[in-house]
Structure 1
């Protein structure tokens, strides 16, 4: 189906849905409609000038004022992201101190996340993120398909530092919570259409329909198209294009004041063309290996097939047992499949090509008991995860006519018991104590084999000649950890909170799916967990009659046994991989966020982050040696700029029966290394991004017209890369880049 026909089909379907959904609304009386528009107008006004009241968050699994929570965290509303032209959650890294959120190298929808120097760049099955992603209260275990677009979202909460007590074993660096809005019992609908640079077309529709007094049904659908920023000079197709269809459907049942049930499902299909990157260095004088004129162009010849599908279903139930006790259950299932291609040499030749596929599924069950008393609050609970992550890929070294097939599976069962309780010792002093016990049972199966020929039978070459089996094992291990957390708060007033906290984080060990038992026989034993001890001092306050809000935090972390993936060329098998538990590191820094609201016509905000991350010990094996060597003085943290900053402001005025608002912003990031070993050709120097948005909202709040420009100075900056130098790998040093300058116009209508 052509894009034009697809647009027509979606518009017809959307019109039919809107007409069907609007029927109950027309049956409502005039006062109800007026109240709905008044509410929309109020929301629009708040979008222009941030409300000076409380910001409510759920960082501790219960609703609290942001000022009361003794955790360094940022909160960004979905409306604020949409108004500035952000299309997915990676835009949060420009607004949030000490955060890196990027699309993974060679991918369109795989998420790479780091916070305060802690994360995981390698999205291979079996490896787990260090910054956890939550879709509402559901943990998303795999990074594939996790670059969530900004639709049907109320707010995003970014929790910094280990959150192991309430959010589990893989929140050693923090957590990102994508929070959708409850449907409620009022009819609501809105549609958003955007057109922008590179033929960007966004079509988004949302609707909530009450059915009687106790049931509401809601849905949202989004289709994103965009031509590429560059071109594949070998095949003629686009590079860095977008073709994503996303949908979410939910139903909420409220049979009584103390019972709430929500069932929701979501599906994301990404058929964007593969991102192959661009060569940064030539390979001798052969022109086929020369870098392209544009950093968005490529000469990759591996192919143009790419498909990522993720879907999930969850059920949440809340029962008020008493005035102070609530029982909550969260049951969820998620599944994903990825077919992708990575051309490491970026030429029409199969010098270093990797076709790959990934499959994952997870089932989770969480039970919570929440207590809200006059002087004590808290939650205790149980958690269970049953997951399976598997995949396969070929490493094709065309100059040697060899291929290495790698395939495997990791089965995980995780059990946890947790609790977090807060006590008001006096009106000013509060203490919070939490802990979590986690036990992970993992079974890893890894198979690697050499073939003569281009690609293995698994990826279509039935004539490939099988050779040496390099790895073939199944092994099981269990990992368990007790992770405590404690904090003390002093609140001299309702608008000021000083706090100190200690927390411990834990990321489970596992098995290296690339592990080569010929080069590293110990790979069959797996790798150990990593842990972090984090200390934090902070202040949150509202000043000058709540026209100035300041959040300040300083932190120190002791990081042990960090899991670092090392990949090196290893002939004739192509690439050898091993996972080091790197040893010890100290990380310290600060975070400052400020928001000023001196009048309804002007707001300003600023954020500053500083991270100093230093290896004290980094043990690894050198040149096939059997004794680990400390190379701490030769290693640095990857994806961790020392400085991050953002400044923005909004001027608004009444105009033509509505409000017009202008919002410029500047974000800065200092130098960053892509890997632990410095690679001058690949590492990114510091850079600044300039954005601006202009929005007009009608007085009723029904209409919004906006135009947003991002990266207005057209800065070129790398967000990822690969480093495989050498003759037989084509001296493959390739980079992936963030978007160029784009301008997008938007029309939004509320019904």
Structure 2
């Protein structure tokens, strides 16, 4: 405890993180939950760039909000040429957002060392994703493209006392634009490297004075960065069609209803990765000249469908009370394949499908008094995640079928109250109770032949049943939150907070009951005790905005998925370890300088120290767990993340012209808990530049966006399956190369 207190004093006094935002006023119409409502419409010269937020259910300055958060407007993302939400990691401290193996649309997310890499059904993400306050439970289809978006918000640290699903590491909120009651439209086209062709259209049609309908459609098409040298198909291509429709009804000043639906279809070719080493014997296992090429022969079919509908209602009961309801249904289906050996042979191929559906209902009661503000709510989730995949070992003429499902019913009650003790001291107390009832069903069976009957081989001979069980467990947890802030004036706020995070346990869909009999019992929940101190302020006549924060987390029973090649286990043995104890602490800083209308600059710095204190596992063999903490590291957690940008603007040809160079840096990162010198990624820099011109009246705009100007090759994923039976598979997946894109936008 003494060490923890000393650390917190150090973080409070030192250079802790600061959250930056652009110098504009936010206009969030629907209250955000402990989040920043970022730049929206126009700079307010009187406020000198102050950001107005609704984090505590009332409009207030960003400086007053005692939480570490980054928020970026959709307009700012568009002007930087951002295509999807993974670009947030280039400007947000201590954030990792990557596209996972297999497709363009499966998301891997980590904040401050907490996340979940495994996209298999049944696992819950450590970072929650929300689209208009609707929780998205599965990572498939979660790489959201940037269109029709008002802002994207990244909240660091445990969330759950204000809204939605309990999330242990943080939350990402994707907020779409409200329709309003005026006829308007927008058409945007882009063309760029690798024959990129994007087209986005939006329209709002007022039907009456109280009813509006509208929608947005986006089509993204791009050739591959590389080729499949076996089939001739593109590798790392993109073929995505996305649609959003909405109707808004405002019968009075005290009532608002919104019905919204969305559908995204991704038919891009699967990403098979590329071999990093040959097998030393057979030239068919040779590496390729380009990191974006592959020799995979498993097939090129990939289809991801994600869709949903939601109904949101707000009713103002009186001057202090507002009732809010959010009802939503979402479902998804994925057909994909991963060729882990990256050869034309079926040495280690994984054809798979996933499907999921969920219904969620949230009720909120918001109170806003003179000194007391707060929210109380109820949350319910009923969802099913299911799927199947083959592990094809062609050299052994063996296939292992794995299939199953996880049914989840979650119930939660939450509240969060903020009270002004004095004009300068403010206290916030929150609490949440969560109960998750889960039922897991797992079947794992050997077949003789290439692929099982589920994936097209009716003649495959069934063999040993390795796993076959159905089990149910209940996980519950009380998670409190408390913060105290001192704000002597409008330009300075110092705060300290404590919150407890919780992610429920579950069942390992890959578990092999013959190799690890305890898999039928499932794995335990993980928890984190998170402490944070911070300072937010405006300085030098409000031309410099600075947010600092330091944090310490005590992480217990972290759920870690480990896959190791083991022929005795029928191919690849999977373990889900609850990895004992870990300590995470770090600093974050975001700063924004706005010395004039023609220039602004931003800087963000993140530092994370994550270390296992105890890591018990059975991987070493035997029946007694072994502590391997000294041999394990945190995955997807670079020690340093740095980002800087500057924007020069000037009047040109009656319009407004701006240029924004940007650079981001990520230090060395391990892709898994077990370090791999060949697979892990060294630190690297990325350099981007954008130029934009907005015509008089702001109807026309032109943009040119260059990303990864130095053409840096960097790994965002990979796998290591040594051994002859697995083709000595060591493969990597890479981020995009240098691209240049031109855009034209017309508003009407």
Give the TM-score, by structure 2 length.
0.93
TM alignment of 1:217-366, pairs within 5 A? 217-366=213-362
Q: Does residue 157 of structure 1 match 2:153? A: yes
Measured after TM superposition, the shift of residue 56 of structure 1 is 3.6
In structure 2, the partner of 1:387 is 383
The aligned counterpart of 2:617 is: 620
String of CA shifts for 1:34-61, please: whole Å, max 9, x gaps. Answer: xxxxxxxx978759x9994332445456
What's 1:413 paired with?
Answer: 409
Per the TM alignment, residue 69 of structure 1 is displaced from its structure 2 partner at its CA by: 1.3
| Aligned counterpart, 2:702 | 705
**Which of the numbers 478, 487, 491 marks the counterpart of 2:487?**
491
Contact (CA 8 Å) 2:260, 2:311: kept in 1 or not? Answer: yes
Provide closer, same or farther for how the CA distance between residues 171 and 634 of structure 1 changes in structure 2, counting only shifts above 3 A.
Answer: same
Q: Does 1:375 align with 2:401?
A: no
Residue pair 2:442, 2:469 contacting (<8 A) in 1 also:
yes
Q: How does 1:469-480 map to 2 (within 5 A)?
A: 469-480=465-476
Equivalent of residue 636 in structure 2, options 635, 639, 643: 639
Larger displacement relative to structure 2 (406-415 or 493-502): 493-502
Residue 448 of structure 1 is matched in structure 2 by 444
Contact 2:165 2:379 (C-alpha < 8 Å) held by counterparts: no
CA distance in 2, matches of 1:166, 1:583: 29
Aligned to 2:346, what secondary structure does the other structure show? coil
**Distance (whole Å) between structure 2 residues aligned to residue 446 and residue 137 of structure 1:** 32
Instruction: Give the CA RMSD over aligned residues.
Output: 1.5
The equivalent of 1:176 in structure 2 is 172
Task: Determine if contact 1:282/1:289 at 8 Å carries over to the other structure.
Answer: yes
Equivalence for 1:725: 722
**Deviation for aligned residue 1:150:** 0.2
Aligned equivalent of 1:207, options 203, 209, 229: 203
| Preserved contact between residue 105 and residue 719 of structure 1 (Cα < 8 Å) | no
1:75 and 1:719 mapped to 2: Cα distance? 24
CA distance in structure 2 between the partners assigned to 1:248 and 1:550 by the alignment: 36
Q: Which residue of 1 aligns with 2:691?
A: 694
Q: SS of the residue aligned with 2:630? A: helix
Post-superposition Cα deviations, 1:628-648, rounded to whole Å, max 9, x if no partner, equal: 100000000000000000000
For 2:638 and 2:519, the matched residues in 1 are separated by: 32
Matches of 2:46 and 2:205, distance apart in 1: 29
Aligned to 2:96: 100
The whole-number CA distance in structure 2 between the counterparts of 1:58 and 1:362 is 28
> In structure 1, the residue corresponding to 2:161 is in which secondary structure?
helix
Q: Out of 390, 393, 399, which is 1:397 matched to?
A: 393
CA drift at 1:167: 4.4
Is residue 608 from structure 1 mapped to residue 598 from structure 2 by the alignment?
Answer: no
Task: Give secondary structure in 2 for the equivalent of 1:426.
Answer: coil
Q: Is the 8 A contact 2:43 2:49 kept in 1?
A: no
- Residue aligning to 2:15: none
- CA offsets 1:448-503 (integer angstroms, 9 cap, x no match): 00000000000000000000000000000000000000000101111211100000
CA–CA distance in structure 2, aligned partners of residues 507 and 239 of structure 1? 36
TM-score normalized by the length of structure 1: 0.93
User: CA offset at residue 166 of structure 1?
Assistant: 2.6
- Whether contact under 8 Å (1:711, 1:741) holds in the other structure is yes
**Partner of residue 573, structure 2:** 576
CA contact (8 A) 1:129 1:170 kept: no
Q: Mean Cα displacement is larger for which, 160-169 or 463-472?
A: 160-169
1:677 maps to 674
> Does the aligned pair in 1 maintain the 2:339–2:349 contact within 8 Å?
yes
Unaligned stretches of 5+ residues in structure 2: 1-38
Q: In the alignment, is residue 464 of structure 1 matched against residue 460 of structure 2?
A: yes
Q: Secondary structure at the match of 2:698?
A: coil
1:24 corresponding residue in structure 2: none
Q: What is the aligned partner in structure 1 of residue 585 from structure 2?
A: 588
Do structure 1's residue 667 and structure 2's residue 684 form an aligned pair?
A: no
Distance 1:235 1:568 in 2: 29
Secondary structure at 2:167 match in 1: coil
User: How many Å separate the matches in 1 of 2:216 and 2:472?
Assistant: 42
Secondary structure of 1:80 counterpart: helix
Partner of residue 34, structure 2 = none
Aligned equivalents of 2:40, 2:649: Cα separation in 1: 15
Distance change (3 Å), C-alpha of 1:525 and 1:59: farther
Q: How far 1:727 sits from its partner (Å)?
A: 1.0
Distance in 1 (alpha carbons) for counterparts of 2:127 and 2:547: 21
Q: CA deviation at 1:556?
A: 0.3
Task: Name 2:8's counterpart in structure 1.
Answer: none
Q: Cα 1:62–1:514, aligned 2, differ >3 Å: closer, same or farther?
A: farther
User: Where does structure 1 lack aligned partners over 5 or more consecutive residues?
Assistant: 1-41
- 1:94-129, CA deviations, whole angstroms, 9 ceiling, x for partnerless residues? 010000001012221001000000000000000010
Count of equivalent residues = 709
Q: State how far apart, in whole Å, the 2-side matches of 1:50 and 1:70 are.
A: 24
CA distance in structure 1 between the aligned counterparts of 2:72 and 2:619, rounded to whole angstroms: 45
Say which SS state the counterpart of residue 733 (structure 2) adopts.
Answer: strand
Aligned: 1:531 with 2:527: yes
Contact 1:128 1:170 in 2 (8 A): no
Conserved in 2, the CA contact under 8 Å of 1:60 and 1:166? Answer: no
Deviation at 1:182, TM superposition (A): 1.6
Give the 3-state SS of the residue equivalent to 1:350 in structure 2.
coil
Q: Is 2:205 aligned against 1:197? A: no
Distance 1:87 1:656 in 2: 28
What's 2:70 paired with? 74
- Looking at structure 1, the residues matched to 658 and 43 of structure 2 have their Cα atoms a distance apart, in angstroms, of 12
Q: 1:167 & 1:732 partners in 2: Cα distance?
A: 44
Does residue 117 (structure 1) correspond to residue 113 (structure 2)? The answer is yes
1:139 aligns with 2:113: no
Residue 3 of structure 2 aligns with which residue?
Answer: none
What's the CA shift for 1:62?
5.6
Does the CA contact (< 8 Å) of 2:107 and 2:140 recur in 1?
yes
